[in-house]
A and B are shown apart, each in its own frame.
Chain A
C-alpha cells in the first residue's frame, strides 16, 4: 500500500485521460474533485491487487447519464438532498451487503471516471485498487473484464440527487442493468451515482486488469516531467506507456458529432505534417472513445488497441468531441491489455462490433518494423 501525493493523483488523472482514448469523462471536473479532497486533508491510498484480502469486498462506483430524454414533468419541487450520489451509492450497497467494503475500483480509466472512484476512496478512507476492468475507457457495459469473466453486476445501488435510492438485487445481464439504470437517470436530472460489482478480492484478482492505475500514473508523470525539463511530452508519454506515434498533423475542421442514444458519435480528420507524415491523412471514428482509425483512408489501428489524441506541443490529451480545426495534434497508439485480445473479448470489442467490416489487426503487427516501444 502506498499513500499518494496530489501530484501523483493528478498524474493518474492525466494518464487516465490519455488511456481514455477520447472518452472517460471530464478531466477538469475530475481535477477539481480531487484537488478539493486534498485541500480538505483527505488521503489517497493505492493498493496492489495482491494486497486485497481474498475475502475483502471491493466495489465499483461511477456516474451514469440518461439515454432517453428527461420526462417533461417538472422536477422543480424536488430539492437536491444528496451532493455526492456516487459516494452515497457506495454506502448504500455496503449497507445492503452488510459488509464494510475493503476498497474501491474504478470502472474504467478516464479523467472524470477514475476521479469519481478516487473521490470516494478519499472520502471513505478506503484504498483505491491498482487495477480496473477495462485498462482504458470503453463505450459499453459489456466492454469490461467483469462482463467477460461473468462477474454479475447485481446487486447494485442507484442514487440520485433528489434522494431516490434504488437497489437492483437481480438482473438478467449487464445490458438490461444499463437500460434500467439509464431509464432511472432520465428521471434524475440526467445523472445517477451507481455502485455495482461488489466482489471479493479472490474474484477481483481473476476478473480485473492489474496495475493500470500505475500505468496511468507513469504516463501522467512523463507528461508532467517533460513540461518541467523541456523534453518532448509526446515521446515521453509513448515511452512511459510503451506505445507508438501513429500520426502528427493539423486537425482539418471542428469535430462533427451526434448524440446517438446518449453516446457521442462522430469523426475527425487530421492532415499530416513533418517529414514523416506530410502528404498523408488520418481519420478517426469515435463512439465516446476513439474506435477505428484510417491512414490515407485505409483501415489502421482499431479497438481494442488504444488511439489517443494529444496536443502536439503540450501533450495535453483532448477528449471527444472537442478537437477543433487547426489544432496541432499527435496521435498515440498503445497496445490493449491482453484481456482484450482473448477470443471472447474480440467478439465484442473489434471494429465489427461497431458495424465496420474491418478485421482487427493488432497494433504491433500494423506497425511491425516500426514498432520499437522501448527505444
Chain B
C-alpha cells in the first residue's frame, strides 16, 4: 500500500490518458477533480491485489457517455461516487477497495476520486488495460464476473439499481439509453466482487504502468518513452481530414493523418468509437483493437477524441493489449468484427515484426 504524491497523480493521469487511446474522458477535468481532493486533504492510496484480504469487497465505479462531452460535473455530486453509495446501500455492504473500469484521463481519476472519498485504496489494476467503448468491452465480462447488481446515478439525481440483466449487451443498451437521456453523463458502479476473484480477471499493475508512462511523457522525450517495453512508434503526420458525430451515446468518427518526416508520402487513417479502434496504413488494415492506437501531440501530450485541428501534427503510438484480450472471448468483444469491420485482428507485434525480419521493435514500423 502506498500513497500517491501530487507528482504521481499528474503522471498517472498523463499515462492513463495515453492508455485511454482517445477515450477515457478529459484529462484536464480529471486533474481538476483530483487537485480538489488533494486540497481537501484526501489521501490517494494504491494497493496491490494481494495486499487486500481475499474476501475484500471490490467495486468498479465509472462514467458512461460520449467522449468530448464538456458537461461540467459538479464535484460535490460526482455521479460515480454517488452510484457507489447507491450500490453499497442496496447490497447493505461497504466496499473495501476500488478497481478502475478502464484507464483514461477522467475514468481513472474518477475511480481514484471515489476511493479517496471513501478512504479506501484503488487497486493497481483495471478492467481493461486501456479504455474501451462498450460496457461489455471489459475483462470482467470475459471472466464471467456478473455485472449485476449495478447502480446508475445521473446528473438529474436519478438513482437506478439494475438488479439482474439478461445479457451484458442488454446492460450496455439500457445504460447507454439512460446516459443519452442524461446529457451523456452518468456514473455507474458495477462488478461487485472479491479480491480473490479479481486475481485472474483484470489487467494488473496498470496504475503503476500509467504513472511510468506519464512520467516519460512529461519529460517530453520520445527516446525515453520508447524505452518503455511494449510502446511502438507507428506514425507521425498532419491531420488532413476529420469527421465525427455523436450517435446513440457514443462519439464516432474517422480522421486521416498525412505522414511527415520519415513517414512522408504515407497516410494513416483511424476510426474511433470513443476510443481509437481501427487503423489503415495507405488504405490497408493496420493496427486494430484490442491493441492500442494512441495519439499525442508532437510534444507528447496525449490527445483525446474527437480532434479537428487540420494541419496539426501528431505522433501515433501502438501498444500490445493485455493478453486476455487476445483470447477468443476477448476478441469476441474487442476485435474489428465486433465494431462491424470485416478485418481480421492481427497482433501488433506480428504486423510490426513479421517472422524472419529483424527490427528494432521500439522505433521501426515501416515494412
- A169-B86, A169-B160, A170-B159 as given contacts; A184 in contact with B166, CB under 8 Å: no
Q: Which of A181-199 contact B (CB under 8 A)?
A: 183-184, 186-187
Q: Which residues of chain A are within 8 angstroms of B163 by Cβ–Cβ distance?
A: 92, 165-167
Q: Which residues of chain B are within 8 angstroms of A165 by Cβ–Cβ distance?
A: 162-165
- Interface residues as binary, B233-277 with A (CB distance below 8 Å gives 1, 0 otherwise): 000000000000000100000000000000000000000000000
Q: Which of A96-145 contact B (CB under 8 A)?
A: none
Q: Which residues of chain B are within 8 angstroms of A176 by Cβ–Cβ distance?
A: 156, 158
Stretch at the interface among B170-178, B198-206, B299-307, B344-352: B170-178
Q: Is B159 a contact partner of A168 (Cβ separation < 8 A)?
A: yes
CA distance A171 to B178 in the complex (A): 12
**Cβ distance B122 to chain A, nearest Cβ, rounded Å:** 26
Q: Which residues of chain B are within 8 angstroms of A78 by Cβ–Cβ distance?
A: 166-167, 170
- Interface residues as binary, A149-191 with B (CB distance below 8 Å gives 1, 0 otherwise): 0000010000000111111111110001001100110110000
A interface, size bucket? 20 to 34
Q: Which of B86, B164, B166, B169 has the most CB of A within 10 A?
A: B166
Q: Which of B167, B174, B181 has the most CB of A within 10 A?
A: B174
Q: Is B181 a contact partner of A81 (Cβ separation < 8 A)?
A: no
Instruction: Say yes or no for A77: interface residue by CB 8 A criterion.
Output: yes
Pick the contact of A187: B158, B160, B177 (CB < 8 A). B177
How many residues of B are in contact with the other chain, CB < 8 A?
A: 23
Q: Which of B132-175 contact A (CB under 8 A)?
A: 156-167, 169-170, 173-174
Q: Is A172 a contact partner of B157 (Cβ separation < 8 A)?
A: yes
Q: Is A172 a contact partner of B156 (Cβ separation < 8 A)?
A: yes
Q: Is A180 a contact partner of B162 (Cβ separation < 8 A)?
A: no
CA distance A169 to B156 in the complex (A): 13
Instruction: Say yes or no for A71: interface residue by CB 8 A criterion.
Output: yes
Pick the contact of B174: A92, A171, A172, A184 (CB < 8 A). A184
Q: Which of B50-75 contact A (CB under 8 A)?
A: none
**Cβ distance A119 to chain B, nearest Cβ, rounded Å:** 23
CA distance A349 to B251 in the complex (A): 40
Q: Which residue of B lies closest to A172 (CB)?
A: B156
CA distance A172 to B157 in the complex (A): 7
- Interface residues as binary, A51-86 with B (CB distance below 8 Å gives 1, 0 otherwise): 000000000000000000001010001110100000
CA distance A187 to B178 in the complex (A): 11
Q: Which residues of chain B are within 8 angstroms of A171 by Cβ–Cβ distance?
A: 156, 158-159
Q: Which residues of chain B are within 8 angstroms of A167 by Cβ–Cβ distance?
A: 90, 160-163
Q: Which residues of chain A are within 8 angstroms of B173 by Cβ–Cβ distance?
A: 71, 73, 187
Q: Which residues of chain A are within 8 angstroms of B181 by Cβ–Cβ distance?
A: 179-180, 183
- A78-B166, A163-B166 as given contacts; A183 in contact with B160, CB under 8 Å: no
Q: Which residues of chain B are within 8 angstroms of A168 by Cβ–Cβ distance?
A: 158-161
- A183-B177, A184-B177, A187-B174 as given contacts; A166 in contact with B167, CB under 8 Å: no
**Cβ distance B89 to chain A, nearest Cβ, rounded Å:** 8
- A73-B169, A164-B170, A187-B170 as given contacts; A180 in contact with B161, CB under 8 Å: no
**Cβ distance A88 to chain B, nearest Cβ, rounded Å:** 11
Pick the contact of B160: A81, A179, A180, A186 (CB < 8 A). A180
- A73-B169, A162-B170, A187-B177 as given contacts; A170 in contact with B162, CB under 8 Å: no
Q: Is B167 a contact partner of A169 (Cβ separation < 8 A)?
A: no
CA distance A320 to B158 in the complex (A): 34
CA distance A43 to B86 in the complex (A): 39
Q: Which residues of chain A are within 8 angstroms of B90 by Cβ–Cβ distance?
A: 167, 169
Q: Which residues of chain A are within 8 angstroms of B180 by Cβ–Cβ distance?
A: 183
CA distance A92 to B174 in the complex (A): 19
Q: Which residues of chain B are within 8 angstroms of A162 by Cβ–Cβ distance?
A: 166-167, 170
Q: Is A169 a contact partner of B161 (Cβ separation < 8 A)?
A: yes
CA distance A172 to B167 in the complex (A): 28
**Cβ distance A292 to chain B, nearest Cβ, rounded Å:** 31
Q: Which residue of B lies closest to A160 (CB)?
A: B166
Q: Which residues of chain A are within 8 angstroms of B160 by Cβ–Cβ distance?
A: 166-169, 180
B interface residues (Cβ-Cβ under 8 A, vs A)? 86, 90, 156-167, 169-170, 173-174, 177-178, 180-181, 248
A-B residue pairs in contact (CB < 8 Å), sample of 11: A73-B169, A79-B166, A164-B174, A165-B162, A166-B161, A169-B86, A169-B159, A171-B159, A176-B156, A183-B177, A187-B177
Given contacts A166-B174, A169-B160, A172-B157, 10 further A-B contacts (CB under 8 A): A77-B167, A78-B166, A162-B166, A163-B164, A167-B162, A170-B157, A171-B156, A172-B158, A180-B160, A184-B174
Query: Which 5 pairs show the lowest CB-CB distances between chains A and B?
Result: A162-B166, A170-B159, A169-B159, A183-B177, A165-B163
